Structure 1
Amino acid sequence: AGMQLVQVRLRAVDRRIDDVQGSLARLGSNVAPDHLAAAQNEVWVLQQYAQSLRSHGAAAL
């Protein structure tokens, strides 16, 4: 059950990363610097979380 939950979380995290990066791409150069920084930070945090899920599996939940 743990590994299934890990897979579900990873899919959700990957989707969120895609959403954030997609919205930044759509905004292009119109993105406000503070919004850009917040979005990049969110992506970084999500990537760290995904990495720990991949490394540690259910223990990272």
Structure 2
Amino acid sequence: MAKLTLETITPLHIGGGNRYSGAEFVLKDNTLHRVSLDRLLRSLSADQIEALTDRLEGLMRIGFM
């Protein structure tokens, strides 16, 4: 069996099989951050969740998401 050595030319993430949506990431200062939607939603009030839901539904209506 041949032995191979690989050199990555970009950052590499080896995950645990979890799948995330694009809504769970934020690019800030050229660094990609993952946002925990569960944690975010737990920290919001009912009014804030309703406002966020309204905005997301608006984006879906115009085909942004």
Q: Is this a same-fold pair by TM over 0.5?
A: no
- Give the structure with the larger helix fraction: 1
- Give the structure with the larger strand fraction: 2
Classify the TM-score, shorter chain: 0.3 to 0.5
Task: Report which of the two structures shows the higher radius of gyration computed on alpha carbons.
Answer: 2
TM-score between both structures, scaled by the size of structure 2: 0.38
TM-score between both structures, scaled by the size of structure 1: 0.40
| Greater relative contact order structure (CA < 8 Å, 6+ sep) | 1
